[in-house]
Amino acid sequence: VWRLVRQIIQNRCGGLPKSVDAFLAVSTFSQNILKPFLPNDSIIRVLPNPCEVLRRLPLGVERNKFFLYLGRMSAEKNPIEFAECARDLNLPTLFIGDGEYLDKVKKIYPQAVFTGWLGKEKLYEYIKQVRCLVFPSAWYETQGLSVQEMASWGIPAIVSDACAAKEMVVHGVSGWIYESGNKDSLKKYLLEMTDDFKVRDMGRQCYELVKRDGIPAEKYIEELLLLYKRVLRDVLHPERG
C-alpha cells in the first residue's frame, strides 16, 4: 500500500516523470526497461553503484564447498527454484538472509545451512567458505550488487537471465547465466561449478573483471559530479550538447 501511495504522491505532487529533466540508471538493463516510460526528450545516463571492497585478495574457491543464496527470501527473489535444484543435486548449500519464504525454503531443503541476517564479521566468516553465488531472482532488479560484491572475493556467480545482474557476468568465463524458470538449465550450471578447475578459473576471471570494471566510492563520486555538470549543461545550454 505504501508503495502505491508513494507513487501517487510522486506522480501528482512531484510531477514525476514529466517534470524531471534527467535520470540516472545503475545498469543498461534498467535503462532499457525505464526508457519507454520516460518523456522522449529525457536525458538518461548509466552509472553503476560503487563497489567498496576491491583491495582484498581472491579466495581459492575451488577449496570451498558452499553454494550461496544471499538476500531476502521472497517470491520475486526466487529462492525456491534454487533450493529445489540444490536439493535434487545434494549440493552443500548456504542461505544467508530472511523473509516470508524462509519456512518454505527450509521445508524444501532442510539439510541446507540457514543463518538469517548476519553482521559483517560473521558474514565474512561464511563468505570465506563459499564456492559459488547463485542469484536466481525473477525480478528485474536494478543491478544485483551481491554479484559484484562476491566477485570482489573471487567468488563466481550463476545468475538468472531475468535480472540486471546478468550484466556483471561473462557467460562461460566469469560465471553462468541460466534461463529463469528452467530448473534443468540451473542444474546444468550448478554441476559445472562442482568442477574444481572450472570454478577456480571462473573465480579468478570474475575477480579480475570486477577489479578492472568496479567503481570505488571515490571514483563513483567523481563520475556522479561529472554527470551532474553534463546534465546541467545539456538542460541550461542545449545548443552546446
Q: What whole-number distance in Å separates Cα of residue 144 and Cα of residue 11?
A: 27
Report the pLDDT value the prediction gives residue 154, as an integer from 0 to 100.
Answer: 94
- 183, 86 contact by CB (below 8 A): no
Q: What whole-number distance in Å separates Cα of residue 81 and Cα of residue 107?
A: 13
> Grid cell 524444501 — which residue?
108
Quote the distance between the C-alpha of residue 179 and its chain's center. Answer: 16
> Which residue ranges in the chain fall short of pLDDT 70?
1-19, 52-55, 235-241
Helix 183-192 and helix 79-89, axial crossing angle in degrees, nearest 10: 60
DSSP annotation string for 112-170: SEEEES--HHHHHHHHTTEEEEEE---S--S--HHHHHHHTTT--EEEETTSGGGGG--
Report the pLDDT value the prediction gives residue 60, as an integer from 0 to 100.
Answer: 93
Report the pLDDT value the prediction gives residue 17, as an integer from 0 to 100.
Answer: 59
Report the pLDDT value the prediction gives residue 161, as an integer from 0 to 100.
Answer: 95
Which among 126, 171, 167, 128 has a CA at the least distance from the CA of 147?
A: 167
- The predicted-structure confidence for 169-194, as pLDDT tens digits, reads as follows 999 999 999 999 999 999 999 999 99
Q: What are the start-end ranges of the H helices in the chain?
A: 2-12, 28-34, 79-89, 102-108, 120-127, 145-151, 183-192, 196-213, 217-236
C-alpha cell at 223: 563520475
Q: How many CB atoms lie within 10 A of CB 47?
A: 15
C-alpha cell at 113: 545451512
Report the pLDDT value the prediction gives residue 52, as an integer from 0 to 100.
Answer: 65
Report the pLDDT value the prediction gives residue 77, as an integer from 0 to 100.
Answer: 94
pTM of the model: 0.82
Can you name the residues that pair with 96 across neighbouring β-strands?
70, 116
Can you name the residues that pair with 175 across neighbouring β-strands?
157, 171
Report the pLDDT value the prediction gives residue 144, as an integer from 0 to 100.
Answer: 76
Torsion of Cα atoms, 101 then 103 then 108 then 111, to 10°: 120
- 26, 143 contact by CB (below 8 A): yes
- The predicted-structure confidence for 213-225, as pLDDT tens digits, reads as follows 777 788 889 988 9
| CA distance from start to end of the chain | 41
Report the pLDDT value the prediction gives residue 26, as an integer from 0 to 100.
Answer: 78
